[in-house]
């Protein structure tokens, strides 16, 4: 139960979202793969690090604004890709786009969005947007998705590389979860399929043959910077940098793909070390609090992406709910930053965290 007075943090929003969503969509958004070990560990990993605050630092004028791939953002928190947002709220991605623009940060639109890239762009023309790409077996579809995103003003292509096949999602299997006919998925239709489908069926359109040569080719497909999302090891981080990526997202897909892999936060330091500042490093998975954001910055992330937190806001209250979740995360992050003795995201260093004693 959420206390009277309404939600005051992301977990309150999750509880409310569970009450207002049907079990199928809730299970889809909330769930992870197999035993959901990594799903839980993403959150818990933040408790394995402690902040090391510095005191008597002049905090006058402290602020969260920064840049990501040259894009100015009002805080080091971006909206990660989340599919099928009209299953959370009828306004879906339009509401998210408007809330992200109001918050002054980047929204990353999923290939499996329930509205077209152009329609989402038109909903918030001043917003900053990236496009998450799944590479279809039909490369004509892939190319047209990239072209549509570029034409609609999206500023980066975020290729997801940890999902050549869909992870084993037992909540979806139990719920017989499908995306219904009345909520079309434009990319799925472009791939030649239009009827009600399981996510598993949608992934049959995705190319499991993708390799690093394709990444290099994708980088040259448009003038947009390429972000490689789904990196968990130093070797792959170096390959991403070698093959044209401008940034990587350290991510295990929110625990939704291979279970039993390291928490995103735990994989972050090795990736940061491996890329030696050649590319920007972002991280997603398990961020629920402003203190989490500061820990990620301290371990070398330029910014974090959140997805479930804003989906809960969307489910509860549409655009206003997404706005509120982003404001809560902003307020919490600024407070954590100053209490750690920092005045800017760049001022948070490796010396501001340590491993928690076991």
Binding residues vs ligand LAC (CB under 6 A): 83, 112, 163, 199, 253, 256
- Closest by CA to 184, choosing from 91, 114, 117, is 114
Element (H, E) at 265: helix 264-275
What are the tokens at 27? 């299970």
Minimum distance of ligand LAC from residue 256's CB (angstroms): 4
Which CB sits closer to ligand LAC, 27 or 345?
27
- 256 forms beta bridges with none
The answer to whether 332 and 291 have CB atoms below 8 angstroms apart is: yes
The answer to whether 113 and 142 have CB atoms below 8 angstroms apart is: no
89 catalytic residue (yes or no): no
Residue with tokens 């069926």: 201
Which CB sits closer to ligand LAC, 197 or 199?
199
- Closest by CA to 224, choosing from 328, 98, 93, 71, is 71
Which CB sits closer to ligand LAC, 28 or 154?
28
Which CB sits closer to ligand LAC, 13 or 134?
134
Q: Which of 128, 129, 171, 253 is catalytic?
A: 253
Find how far residue 102's CA is from the centre of its chain.
Answer: 18
Find how far residue 289's CA is from the centre of its chain.
Answer: 15
Which CB sits closer to ligand LAC, 33 or 123?
33
Which CB sits closer to ligand LAC, 129 or 256?
256
Minimum distance of ligand LAC from residue 199's CB (angstroms): 5
- Closest by CA to 153, choosing from 182, 130, 184, is 130
In degrees, rounded to 5, the angle at the alpha carbon of residue 196 between the alpha carbons of residues 190 and 199 is 80
- Closest by CA to 306, choosing from 103, 94, 5, is 103
Minimum distance of ligand LAC from residue 235's CB (angstroms): 23
| DSSP tag of 262 | P
Minimum distance of ligand LAC from residue 197's CB (angstroms): 12
- The stretches of 45-185 forming alpha helices (DSSP H) are 92-103, 117-123, 139-151, 170-175
How far is 329 from 291, CA to CA, in rounded Å?
9
The answer to whether 128 and 106 have CB atoms below 8 angstroms apart is: yes
Minimum distance of ligand LAC from residue 172's CB (angstroms): 9
Minimum distance of ligand LAC from residue 253's CB (angstroms): 6
Catalytic residues: 253
């Amino acid at each position: 139960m959420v206390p009277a007075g309404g939600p005051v943090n992301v977990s309150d929003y999750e509880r409310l979202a569970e009450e207002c969503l049907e079990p199928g969509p809730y299970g889809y958004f909330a769930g992870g793969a197999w035993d959901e070990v990594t799903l839980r560990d993403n959150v818990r990993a933040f408790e394995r690090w402690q902040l090391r605050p510095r005191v008597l630092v002049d905090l006058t004028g402290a602020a969260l604004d920064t840049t990501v791939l040259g894009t100015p953002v009002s805080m080091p928190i971006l909206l990660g890709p989340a599919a099928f947002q009209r299953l959370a709220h009828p306004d879906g991605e339009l509401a998210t786009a408007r809330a992200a623009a109001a918050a002054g940060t980047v929204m990353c639109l999923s290939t499996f969005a329930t509205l077209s890239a152009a329609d989402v762009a038109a909903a918030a023309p001043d917003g900053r947007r990236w496009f998450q790409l799944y590479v279809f077996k039909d490369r004509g579809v892939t190319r047209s998705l990239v072209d549509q995103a570029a034409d609609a003003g999206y500023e980066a292509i975020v290729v997801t590389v940890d999902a050549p096949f869909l992870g084993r999602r037992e909540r979806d299997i139990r719920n017989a979860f499908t995306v219904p006919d009345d909520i079309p998925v434009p990319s799925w239709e472009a791939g030649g399929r239009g009827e009600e489908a399981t996510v598993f069926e949608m992934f049959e359109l995705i190319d499991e043959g993708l390799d690093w040569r394709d990444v290099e080719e994708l980088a040259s497909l448009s003038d947009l910077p390429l972000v490689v999302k789904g990196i968990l090891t130093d070797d792959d981080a170096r390959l991403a940098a070698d093959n044209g990526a401008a940034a990587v997202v350290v991510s295990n897909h929110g625990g939704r793909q291979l279970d039993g892999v390291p928490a995103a936060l735990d994989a972050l330091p090795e990736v940061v070390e491996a890329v030696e500042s050649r590319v920007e490093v972002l991280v997603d998975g398990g961020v629920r609090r402003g203190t989490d954001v500061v820990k990620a910055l301290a371990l070398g992330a330029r910014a974090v992406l959140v997805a479930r937190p804003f989906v809960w806001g969307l489910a509860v209250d549409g655009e206003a709910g997404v706005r509120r979740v982003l404001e809560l995360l902003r307020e919490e992050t600024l407070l954590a930053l100053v209490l750690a003795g920092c005045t800017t995201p760049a001022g948070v260093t490796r010396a501001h965290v340590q491993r928690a004693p076991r």
